[in-house]
């Protein structure tokens, strides 16, 4: 697989951040046969090596949960499917209001959207995590959000590639 194909296929695994796939390929971290674990390790290595501002950019590339992009139909297909799987596309008016208020408070406090790997979670689980994490210190929450981004990438790659031992 050439670089352009690799970046086209895996550049969106870390939301709107193809620079990570580009760097992983250039660093020689991409080896055949491609596996979910191997590609995840390569992309994660580049994410962790990125500057703080670059990682913050990756965090900010993520949409608000059940936010205005979801309402307007502006989510990536992966984000739309993940949020729908957790029931975030079927919120009551009260639930939507709560998510909107938490999203605003979270971004105000931390400077990036609340990020959580929603696969396997319910909207109740997500709200509980939201309400708990909003009390975190800024550095701890940045680290938590980065870990969640890596988990989301792993889940997405698991849907795209086999994982051979």
62 is catalytic: yes
The one catalytic residue among 16, 52, 62, 132: 62
C-alpha closest to that of 22 among 41, 37, 3: 3
Instruction: Report the catalytic residues.
Output: 62
């Amino acid at each position: 697989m050439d670089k352009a194909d690799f970046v086209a296929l895996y550049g969106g695994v870390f939301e709107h951040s193809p620079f990570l796939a580009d760097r992983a390929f250039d660093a020689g971290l991409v080896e055949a046969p491609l596996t979910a674990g191997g590609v995840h390790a390569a992309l994660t290595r580049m994410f962790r090596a990125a500057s703080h501002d670059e990682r913050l950019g990756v965090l900010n590339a993520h949409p608000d949960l059940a936010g205005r992009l979801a309402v307007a139909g502006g989510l990536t297909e992966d984000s739309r499917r993940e949020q729908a799987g957790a029931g975030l596309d079927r919120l009551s008016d009260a639930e939507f209001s709560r998510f909107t208020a938490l999203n605003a408070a979270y971004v105000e406090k931390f400077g990036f959207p609340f990020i959580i790997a929603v696969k396997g979670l319910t909207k109740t689980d997500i709200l509980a995590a939201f309400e708990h994490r909003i009390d975190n210190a800024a550095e701890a929450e940045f680290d938590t959000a980065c870990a969640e981004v890596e988990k989301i990438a792993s889940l997405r790659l698991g849907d795209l590639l086999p994982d051979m031992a």
